[in-house]
Amino acid sequence: MAQLSEVQLYTDGACSGNPGPGGWAFLLVHPATGKSLERSGGEPETTNNRMELNAVIEGLSTLKRPSRVELFTDSVYVGKGLMEYMPKWKANGWRRKEGTKFVPVKNEELWRRLDELLARHQVKYTRVAGHSGHLENDRVDELAVAAYQKFLRRS
């Protein structure tokens, strides 16, 4: 079996208002070659959590073959979702407990898409403190903010 390529994925999402115009961005780095790729996009009306998820989904979707990925994000929502909540949600038919009853998981279609990508790649989650001078995290934040600002100029 071929050895999996190792990459670093830095992601961020941002919103002006929540909900409001939103942007996502990722930076993929292949340490062995030093090559990198950054992309961003946005939506005119969305939430910060949706943009955080979109950033991860877009980054993982860009990979052409199964890879070992270290995901760096400042999103506690994404991190806890990946590490704690998602296995429970799946076991409960993509529902979560709210009080004594089960309700649909918010952003279910995005979590399902992310689950498909996680089946393809080996992903390790690393939390980064936001706005802390972390070069790559600051870069994806800058790209995500620029992506939503395009929607602000249209109004």
Q: Where are the domains of the chain?
A: 5-82+121-154
- Global pTM? 0.94
Distant-in-sequence, close-in-space partners of 9: CB < 8 Å, separation ≥ 6: 26, 27, 28, 29, 56, 59, 60, 69, 70, 71, 72
Residue 120 pLDDT greater than 70, yes or no: yes
Residue 3 pLDDT greater than 90, yes or no: no
Catalytic site includes residue 115: no
Query: Of these residues, 34, 98, 99, 131, which one is catalytic?
Result: 131
Q: Which fold has domain 5-82+121-154?
A: Nucleotidyltransferase; domain 5 (3.30.420)
Q: What CA–CA distance (Å, rounded) separates 133 from 55?
A: 20
The chain-wide mean pLDDT, for the chain, equals: 94
Average pLDDT over residues 129-148: 91
Catalytic site includes residue 134: no
Query: Of these residues, 22, 23, 52, 136, which one is catalytic?
Result: 52
Q: Confirm if 10 and 142 have CB atoms less than 8 A apart.
A: no
Residue 137 pLDDT greater than 60, yes or no: yes
Query: Of these residues, 13, 22, 42, 81, which one is catalytic?
Result: 13
Query: Of these residues, 74, 81, 121, 136, which one is catalytic?
Result: 74
Tell me which of 18-27, 86-95, 126-135 is least confident.
126-135
Per residue in 63-77, pLDDT (tens digit) is 999 999 999 999 999
